[in-house]
């Protein structure tokens, strides 16, 4: 509340007017009001029991009012906004004026106990996960069987609500990450990627409309592994960044400019905190990843280990080879990659092999399910 109220005060004096309160704090005021109401009612019941020895310790009315009311729902709204709030805060902290607000106006307040805003924003998430523990303790100590049964059913509902929320938060986090990747990864047009392909100017626009960028728009796709490697070309070594998804591998080359492919200067783009630290640092410097070749489907990918004795002539270490085959099992591309360490090489090979195995298993299961005919009717 110190951070939120201070920001409100500054905005009332026409400072930091472009900072969105909701994006940072969501429904914190409503959450605080409901949580405080629950605590007051809860301790009022305890107080009544202590002051009047004949007064029964009955929590059911308090629990029913809040847990069947808005308490969990209000927490859920806050928690669903949390990832976005951290993302937004991370980018605001790059600004000098916002940094002054954080450090000089808020963090020096003794009531903050030297805690920073990210540490405070996560507190309501922790609070929600402690409610089942509270309900479980009440259930253990209840003597009334009706109240005991009610408290147990309430605990199970809250636990299910938290499990559902975790799924939604993971989905949103994945969605945020892929939206960021769409900004970071540049897909060059086929005629720019390979000079053999000639396309008249009047046809280029219609081909651009069928852009490959939407390939990362699916929120169901998972990013399994990523990292920087070195690609050995015929005349040079090239810094590349690989993205291993659950259905294909994408090889990109690292570009250290501030312009998107074929576009104007976009400046630094916001950085999603769920991205790998190496990629975050790279993006903050204005870097992008330009797709080197078409995505390699996992069922068209062959992985080969390179024995050190066969590669020393090229001064390469920790090398492995990726082969891209078409649907007729013809090799259409080969990539000789070098990892920074032997351990990193083994990790990459293990991750790719596991991804291929899982992908193959899933598609075999779907294929078998498609060919499972229902039992024939006796009337046929």
Kindly report, residue by residue over 93-125, the tens digit of the pLDDT. 889 999 999 998 999 999 988 889 998 999 898
Residue 202 is assigned to a structural domain of this protein: no
Q: How far apart are CA 19 and CA 12, in angstroms?
A: 12
| pLDDT(3) > 80 | yes
266 pLDDT tier (thresholds 50, 70, 90):
very low
Identify the residue with better confidence: 101 or 317. Answer: 101
Q: Please compute the mean of the pLDDT values over residues 209-215 and round it to a whole number.
A: 64
Residue 146 sits in the same domain as residue 4: yes
Residue 65: how many other CB atoms lie within 10 Å: 14
Residue 233 sits in the same domain as residue 319: yes
Residue 225 sits in the same domain as residue 147: no
| pLDDT(186) > 80 | yes
Mean pLDDT for all residues in the chain: 86
Most confident of 48-52, 252-256, 312-316: 252-256
Kindly report, residue by residue over 28-53, the tens digit of the pLDDT. 999 999 999 999 999 988 888 888 76
pLDDT at residue 269, as a whole number = 54
Residue 36 sits in the same domain as residue 135: yes
Residue 374 is assigned to a structural domain of this protein: no
Residue 143 sits in the same domain as residue 285: no
Q: Which of 162, 184, 206 is the last residue of a domain?
A: 184
| DSSP H helix total and E strand total for the chain | 13, 9
User: Please, are residues 85 and 25 in contact by the beta-carbon 8 Å criterion?
Assistant: yes
> CATH no. for residue 180?
1.20.900.10
Which residues lie below 8 Å from residue 296, measured CB to CB, with a gap of 6+?
Answer: 248, 249, 250, 251, 322, 324, 333
Residue 64 sits in the same domain as residue 135: yes
271 pLDDT tier (thresholds 50, 70, 90):
low
Q: Give the rounded distance of the alpha carbon of 218 from its chain centre.
A: 13
Number of compact structural domains in the chain: 2
| pLDDT(183) > 70 | yes
292 pLDDT tier (thresholds 50, 70, 90):
very high
Q: Which of 184, 206, 226 is the last residue of a domain?
A: 184
Residue 158 sits in the same domain as residue 278: no
Residue 226 is assigned to a structural domain of this protein: yes
Instruction: Report strand pairing: 288-291 vs 185-186.
Output: parallel
- Domain residues for 311? 218-258+273-368
293: tokens are 């070749």
Q: Please compute the mean of the pLDDT values over residues 17-26 and round it to a whole number.
A: 94
Which residues lie below 8 Å from residue 243, measured CB to CB, with a gap of 6+?
Answer: 181, 185, 223, 226, 249, 250, 252
Residue 287 sits in the same domain as residue 343: yes
Residue 193 is assigned to a structural domain of this protein: no
pLDDT at residue 313, as a whole number = 59
pLDDT at residue 211, as a whole number = 60
Residue 209 is assigned to a structural domain of this protein: no
HSE of 288, CA atoms in CB hemisphere, 13 A: 22
pTM for this structure? Answer: 0.72
Residue 34 sits in the same domain as residue 178: yes
pLDDT at residue 376, as a whole number = 56
Q: Which of 184, 202, 229 is the last residue of a domain?
A: 184
Kindly report, residue by residue over 327-376, the tens digit of the pLDDT. 999 999 999 999 999 999 999 999 999 999 999 999 887 777 766 656 65
> CATH no. for residue 280?
2.30.29.30
Residue 3 is assigned to a structural domain of this protein: yes
pLDDT at residue 212, as a whole number = 61
Residue 147 is assigned to a structural domain of this protein: yes
């Amino acid at each position: 509340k110190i951070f939120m109220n201070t920001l409100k005060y500054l905005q009332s004096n026409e400072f930091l007017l472009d900072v969105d309160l909701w994006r940072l704090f969501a429904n914190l005021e409503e959450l605080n009001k409901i949580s405080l109401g629950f605590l007051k009612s809860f301790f009022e019941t305890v107080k009544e029991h202590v002051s009047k020895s004949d007064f029964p310790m009955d929590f059911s009315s308090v629990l029913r009012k809040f847990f069947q009311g808005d308490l969990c729902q209000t927490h859920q709204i806050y928690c669903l906004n949390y990832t976005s709030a951290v993302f937004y805060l991370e980018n605001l902290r790059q600004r000098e004026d916002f940094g002054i607000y954080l450090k000089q106006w808020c963090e020096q307040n003794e009531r903050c106990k030297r805690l920073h805003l990210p540490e405070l924003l996560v507190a309501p998430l922790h609070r929600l996960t402690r409610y089942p523990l509270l309900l479980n303790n009440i259930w253990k100590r209840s003597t009334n069987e009706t109240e005991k049964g009610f408290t147990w059913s309430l605990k199970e509902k809250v636990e299910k609500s938290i499990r559902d929320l975790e799924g939604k938060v993971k989905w949103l986090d994945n969605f945020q990450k892929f939206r960021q990747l769409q900004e970071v990864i540049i897909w060059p047009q086929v005629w720019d990627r390979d000079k053999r392909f000639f396309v008249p100017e009047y046809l280029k626009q219609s081909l651009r409309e069928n852009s490959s960028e939407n390939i990362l728009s699916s929120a169901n796709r998972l990013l399994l592994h990523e990292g920087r490697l070195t690609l050995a070309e015929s005349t040079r070594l090239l810094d590349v960044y690989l993205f291993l998804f659950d259905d294909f591998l994408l090889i990109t080359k690292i570009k250290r400019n501030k312009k998107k492919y074929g576009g104007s200067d976009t400046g630094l783009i916001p950085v999603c905190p769920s991205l790998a630290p190496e990629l975050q640092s790279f993006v903050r410097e204005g870097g992008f990843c330009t797709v080197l070749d078409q995505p390699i489907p996992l069922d068209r990918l062959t992985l080969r280990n390179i024995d050190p004795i066969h590669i020393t002539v090229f001064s390469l270490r920790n090398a492995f080879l990726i082969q891209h085959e078409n649907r007729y099992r013809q090799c259409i591309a080969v990539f000789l990659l070098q990892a920074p360490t032997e351990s990193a090489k083994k990790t990459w090979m293990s991750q790719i092999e596991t991804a291929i195995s899982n992908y193959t298993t899933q598609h075999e299961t779907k294929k078998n399910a498609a060919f499972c005919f229902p039992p024939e009717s006796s009337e046929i």
